[in-house]
A and B are shown apart, each in its own frame.
Chain A
Amino acid sequence: MLSIKNLNVSVEGKPILNGLNLEVKDGEVHAIMGPNGSGKSTLASVIAGRDYFTIEQGEVTYMGKNLLEIPPEVRAKEGIFLGFQYPVEIPGVSMTNFMRTAINEKRKHQGLKPLSGAEFLKLMEEKKKLVKIESKLANRSVNEGFSGGEKKKNEIFQLALLEPKLAVLDETDSGLDIDALKVVANGVNMLKRKDNATILITHYQRLLDYVIPDVVHVLFDGKIVKSGGKELALELEEKGYNWITKET
């Protein structure tokens, strides 16, 4: 589904990703771990199409297409979803209006009829229950005044509504209480199908108790330096990153 080869990315002349390789196949869950500043969010942003990075080298292919040539909104409509590490507050834009627009843009892209107001509201109610988000949050402006945890839950709510093919969740588990963590994990598990995939960026092994990854990667200094099964996460939790850096 997603194939990244020798990706080199810089910001303002400063190299951030240095020859990163990653293969994600249909139906897989990948976890990416790595120390602060190693480039995890950068990778996520590049996949989603943020434009302030310079792609120095390499290729990113998604469903056989050169992803780097596609504007972010088209990527979204083709099924890519980024759960932001820091969801943005947008005062004055209602969640409802935002999501209805997003869903209908996607439906248009797929050649489907837009959802009517009533249909959309029904869908919202369904997903609200699924992610246990309070109604009042969905009725407010996008993330405005949401607590840290509420913002993360709201990302999962959007994920549930948009049903992406490839979800990249950037520390969506950070700052969540145990119940919310289960909700997030649940959201990911429920979304799991043979034909979609998830990349979980996380610092904590505990998420991986609920969502079992197929592969765990360690991102260090702009590249993936080690990959393994879910036991790698446990090992990291125990030994920290020093162990890896020494090894490489």
Chain B
Amino acid sequence: MPESNNISNQPEVFKNTLTELFENNYDQIMENSSGKIKSLRQKAFGIFKKNGFPGKKTENWRFTDLNHLFRNDFIIDFETKSQKVDISNIFTCDVYDLDTYCVTLINGWFAYNNSPLTKLKNGTIIGSLYKAMEIYPEIVEKYLGSIAKLNEPGFVPLNTAFMQDGLFIYVPDNVKVEKPVQVINIVDSQKPVFLQPRNLIITGKNSNLTLIHCDHTLTHNISFTNTVSEVIVDQNGYVDHYKVQNKGRNSSLITSLFFKQEKGSKLFNNAITLNGGFTRNQVDLLINGENCSANLNGLYLMDNNQHVDNQVFVDHKAFESLSNQLYKGILDDQASGVFSGKVLVRRDSQKSQAFQNNKNILLKDDAKVNTQPFLEIYADDVKCSHGATVGQLDPNAMFYLRSRGLSERTARQLLMYAFAGEVVNKISVEPLRENIIKLVEKRLKGELSICDQCILSCNSREPKFIQNIVD
């Protein structure tokens, strides 16, 4: 890579290196930013410089140790731009029955076969954020940074200061995007890289979008990705958003996903974490209009010493809306998990309904999970509930299954799969659900390799039918 920079060691040192890096590469970073975006970056940079990274005492970071992130000689690359590459050289995506607009980010940069920004017949624009800054500055200016919170320490301001490229989608009013958009984030580098992709998704009034976000590593090398996404769902819009993460054990991923829903809109978000050395997913939802519904689901299946941290925050800022969180996890070996779900129902948000549930299964004594469901309610006419469980596989159910001739292993798999199924079965795009079911089954059988390049069975030659879970 041309003009790369080594950065290293401990939060303070790491922070200083990054601030220096920002200052030294200022012109390049600002290159295609309009005035408004420039000042957004500067503001974000100022906040990062002042606050630095979150520490063990920072709220919402107490159970997730970041130190390993500051230890490696990461490389930040300012030079590579969106590139025209033959993606099929890297992998081919032939998702069974699932016809998608498939786009790819390689090391945070948009990769394309024809053009970095495509405008579909219905007016939908899909492509590179970097390019969109240049071609559609008025849209980008209006929305970029509009809902991502800069006041929290660390990663969102950092991303906002440094962001270069990422996925840009603009769906005009009254457009139903028929095919799901699938974006595949690939980390593929021989050197340890630090990537900060930025995604901006805008769906107009009465519009529809299904977006599948897949995170992969094609390398066993150390990598660190800090992604920020902003997703705006305008009035009566419908967004079905998936995040499927299957990353190498040496990869670290921090994603901050901000949603804003306007009146009458519907949102589904599914975060499926199958593998990943270190994964932190923050979902921040602002319900800004009445009669919205939001379903936020998560599934995490961790083993070895993987760590996963899900942070969910829902702000009911309008009345008569519904939010429903269901996060489930299975932790094996010494894996660790964190769930923190917070719902805020503001005083005027009467008739809100907010439900929250986190269920965990620990398969080994050394596995652990820290769960904190939390409701903060200022309105009096609301329906809210929260709950969290941590347990083992039900021994009575295990015996029942075994007493009919199922091996211990098969019985465990069936029970684990049933547990995970509650989340997976909520996936409404059928071929996607079937693919994810297959992946979850494989994962629970211990057969899912992180080298299965595309989470949606890209590059796979295996038979395309849903296998019975039991072998």
Which residues of A are at the interface with B, using a C-beta cutoff of 8 A?
Answer: 48-51, 71-73, 75-77, 81-82, 84, 87-88, 90-93, 97-102, 105-106, 109, 141-142, 158, 162
B175 at the interface (CB under 8 A from A): no
Whether B405 contacts A105 by the Cβ 8 Å rule is yes
Which residues of B are at the interface with A, using a C-beta cutoff of 8 A?
Answer: 394, 396-397, 399-408, 410-411, 414-415, 417-419, 421-422, 468-470
Whether A73 contacts B402 by the Cβ 8 Å rule is yes
Whether B419 contacts A92 by the Cβ 8 Å rule is yes
In the complex, which of the residues A50, A71, A91, A162 contacts B404, with contact meaning CB atoms closer than 8 Å? Answer: A162
Given A84-B400, A88-B397, do A93 and B414 touch, yes or no (CB 8 Å)? yes
- A106: B residues at CB distance < 8 A: 405
Task: Tally the A-B contacts, defined by beta carbons under 8 Å.
Answer: 82
- A141: B residues at CB distance < 8 A: 418
Residue of B394, B405, B406, B417 ringed by the most chain A CB atoms within 10 A:
B405
In the complex, which of the residues B394, B403, B410 contacts A76, with contact meaning CB atoms closer than 8 Å? Answer: B403
A10–B406 Cα distance when bound, in Å, is 26
A98–B422 Cα distance when bound, in Å, is 17
- B407: A residues at CB distance < 8 A: 73, 105
A108 to chain B, nearest CB (A): 9
15 further A-B pairs in the complex, CB-CB below 8 A; given A88-B397, A90-B397, A92-B419: A49-B403, A73-B404, A76-B402, A76-B405, A82-B403, A90-B401, A92-B417, A92-B422, A93-B401, A97-B468, A98-B401, A98-B404, A100-B468, A101-B410, A162-B404
A109–B404 Cα distance when bound, in Å, is 13
A88–B405 Cα distance when bound, in Å, is 15
23 example contacts (A-B, Cβ-Cβ < 8 A) are as follows A50-B399, A71-B402, A72-B402, A73-B404, A75-B403, A76-B404, A88-B397, A90-B400, A90-B401, A90-B418, A92-B419, A93-B401, A93-B415, A97-B469, A97-B470, A98-B404, A98-B406, A101-B410, A101-B414, A102-B405, A105-B407, A105-B410, A162-B404
A86 to chain B, nearest CB (A): 8
A99–B400 Cα distance when bound, in Å, is 12
Q: Output the nearest chain B residue to A97 by Cβ-Cβ distance.
A: B468
In the complex, which of the residues B403, B421, B468, B469 contacts A48, with contact meaning CB atoms closer than 8 Å? Answer: B403
A81–B394 Cα distance when bound, in Å, is 20
B438 to chain A, nearest CB (A): 15
A77–B407 Cα distance when bound, in Å, is 10
In the complex, which of the residues A73, A84, A101 contacts B408, with contact meaning CB atoms closer than 8 Å? Answer: A73
Whether B401 contacts A92 by the Cβ 8 Å rule is no
- B405: A residues at CB distance < 8 A: 73, 76-77, 102, 105-106, 109, 162
- B411: A residues at CB distance < 8 A: 73
- B469: A residues at CB distance < 8 A: 97
